[in-house]
């Protein structure tokens, strides 16, 4: 802003008059009323660029405050947040706290309170075993899930039957939260668009990639990004997924990890740990995170590429269901290291190089694309 303009505004402020920025100038009046008239009709997002406000906030003759109070810092943050407010496109705006992040517990509570009876009819809580498989499971298999935990188990499997509904405000908030947390963006995004391919969905609509896992796949991603320690892990895995040689579709891989967790729950591989903790949902969440961590470790250290995805997932499923407690212990050690600032999944590995292609350009084989190796059950949920 030049000196003449600065002097002009100073003169107007001394006179206690501010001219209206509208097409017609308003008559002179007291300072408060003229200021209101000056800014009436100006959108919030444009206020920061208004010349008068720039003059008021500009440094005068190099003056700087000696001490900035916490109130000033808070006000500055709120003012800068104005830039992050913009309309949603391509979706129905949420009427329930629009633009607000949603926690895992809040999203879960939604499913605990709505009527899911039509979805619950579809679930098969445990796999069907017959003949020798049933006898072997009875003699040497894991223990039965305690009766008091079966309702919680059924809720997990029921959520896996629910699809993504872009017209449901809660569903939209879950997607927005996942996007913002993974990318660090302050802005809302459209519920359909190429930006979902950038995060590792195969198309512009995340709903089309939830086969076999349903909304539980999105809840698992939400669980991953809403805790500071697992968020660091998620971002490291996302960075690995964008490696110019070892790239893979991050979100689609996560959906496959959720499928493995569902199958482990149905085969009662998690029953011992659920009985020990007297909880189901936290155990399933931790198992999902631990399995994803294990996959990333194998992928990085064994230099896997997208062509190995089906075989990696198959081996991962077998080892995870065989030793879930060992897998969970690995996650505990990793997260303890994160708390101390000592754990890094990728270490010094650099993920630089040419930009990885969109997930739609990758040939990805998931667990649902492989023939079942288990003789004890099917892939029905």
Over residues 250-263, the mean pLDDT reads 97
pLDDT of residue 97: 42
Over residues 296-314, the mean pLDDT reads 94
| pLDDT for residue 128 is more than 80 | no
Of residues 127 and 350, which shows the higher confidence score?
A: 127
| The two three-digit tokens of residue 157, written as one number | 């499997």
* CB half-sphere exposure, 58, CA atoms < 13 A: 17
Helices (H), the chain: 3-15, 31-39, 44-47, 51-57, 70-80, 104-113, 117-120, 131-140, 150-159, 169-183, 195-198, 214-225, 228-241, 250-266, 271-277, 281-301, 309-322, 324-339
Q: Count other C-beta atoms under 10 Å from residue 284's C-beta.
A: 26
pLDDT of residue 194: 93
89: left (phi over 0), alpha (psi -120 to 50) or beta: beta
Over residues 129-137, the mean pLDDT reads 72
Over residues 101-108, the mean pLDDT reads 96
| Residue owning tokens 């359909």 | 192
Of residues 317 and 71, which shows the higher confidence score?
A: 317
Per-residue confidence band for 108, with pLDDT thresholds at 50, 70 and 90: very high
Over residues 254-258, the mean pLDDT reads 97
* Portion of the chain with pLDDT greater than 70, in percent: 62
* Portion of the chain with pLDDT greater than 90, in percent: 54
Q: Is the dihedral of CA 205, 209, 212, 215 positive or negative?
A: negative
| Contacts of 170 by beta carbon, 8 Å cutoff, 6+ apart | 96, 102, 107, 110
pLDDT of residue 70: 52
Tens of pLDDT, residues 16-45: 443 444 444 444 445 555 555 555 555 555
Of residues 20 and 192, which shows the higher confidence score?
A: 192
| pLDDT for residue 183 is more than 70 | yes
| pLDDT for residue 184 is more than 50 | yes
- Per-residue DSSP letters for 285-346? HHHHHHHHHHHHHHHHHTT--GGGHHHHHHHHHHHHHH-HHHHHHHHHHHHHHHHTT---SS
| pLDDT for residue 215 is more than 70 | yes
| Contacts of 83 by beta carbon, 8 Å cutoff, 6+ apart | 45, 48, 186
Over residues 197-219, the mean pLDDT reads 94
Least confident piece of the model among 52-61, 178-187, 327-336:
52-61
| pLDDT for residue 131 is more than 60 | yes
Question: What's the chain's length in residues?
Answer: 381
| pLDDT for residue 338 is more than 90 | no
| The two three-digit tokens of residue 259, written as one number | 């499928």
CA distances from 95 to 25, 175, 219, 226 (A): 38, 15, 21, 22
Per-residue confidence band for 339, with pLDDT thresholds at 50, 70 and 90: confident
Kindly report the average pLDDT of the chain as a whole number.
77
pLDDT of residue 220: 98
pLDDT of residue 61: 45
| The two three-digit tokens of residue 82, written as one number | 């104005």
End-to-end alpha carbon distance in the chain = 65
pLDDT of residue 31: 52
| pLDDT for residue 110 is more than 60 | yes
Q: Do 225 and 173 meet the contact criterion of CB atoms below 8 Å apart?
A: no
| The two three-digit tokens of residue 29, written as one number | 């009046």
pLDDT of residue 33: 56
Q: What are phi and psi of 3, to 5 degrees?
A: -65, -35
| Contacts of 142 by beta carbon, 8 Å cutoff, 6+ apart | 268, 269, 271, 272
| pLDDT for residue 353 is more than 50 | no
């Amino acid at each position: 802003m030049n000196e003449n303009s600065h002097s002009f505004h100073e003169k107007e402020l001394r006179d206690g008059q501010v001219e209206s920025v509208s097409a017609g100038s308003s008559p002179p009046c007291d300072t408060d009323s003229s200021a209101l008239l000056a800014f009436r009709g100006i959108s919030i997002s444009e206020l920061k660029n208004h010349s008068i406000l720039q003059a008021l906030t500009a440094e005068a003759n190099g003056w700087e405050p000696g001490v900035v109070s916490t109130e000033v810092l808070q006000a500055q943050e709120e003012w800068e947040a104005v830039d992050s407010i913009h309309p949603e496109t391509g979706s129905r705006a949420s009427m329930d706290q629009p633009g607000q992040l949603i926690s895992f517990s809040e999203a879960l509570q939604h499913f605990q309170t709505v009527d899911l009876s039509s979805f619950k009819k579809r679930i098969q809580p445990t796999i069907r075993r017959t003949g020798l498989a049933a006898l072997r499971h009875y003699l040497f298999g894991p223990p039965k899930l305690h009766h008091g935990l079966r309702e919680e188990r059924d809720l997990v499997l029921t959520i896996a039957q629910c699809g993504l509904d872009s017209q449901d405000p809660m569903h939209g908030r879950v997607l927005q939260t996942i996007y913002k947390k993974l990318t660090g963006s302050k802005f809302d995004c459209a519920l359909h668009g190429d930006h979902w391919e950038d995060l590792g969905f195969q198309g512009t609509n995340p709903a089309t990639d939830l086969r076999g896992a349903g909304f539980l796949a999105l809840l698992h991603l939400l669980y991953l990004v809403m805790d500071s320690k697992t968020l660091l892990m998620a971002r490291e895995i996302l960075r690995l997924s964008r490696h110019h040689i070892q790239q893979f579709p991050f979100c689609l891989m996560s959906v496959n990890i959720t499928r493995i967790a569902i199958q482990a729950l149905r085969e009662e591989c998690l029953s011992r740990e659920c009985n020990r903790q007297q909880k189901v949902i936290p155990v399933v969440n931790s198992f999902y995170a631990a399995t994803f961590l294990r996959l990333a470790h194998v992928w990085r250290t064994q230099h896997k590429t997208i062509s190995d995805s089906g075989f990696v997932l198959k081996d991962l499923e077998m080892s995870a269901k065989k030793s879930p407690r060992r897998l969970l212990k690995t996650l505990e050690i990793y997260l303890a290291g994160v708390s101390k600032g000592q754990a890094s999944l990728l270490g010094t590995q650099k993920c630089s190089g040419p930009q990885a292609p969109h997930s739609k350009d990758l040939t990805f084989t998931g667990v649902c694309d492989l023939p079942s190796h288990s003789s004890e059950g099917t892939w029905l949920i």
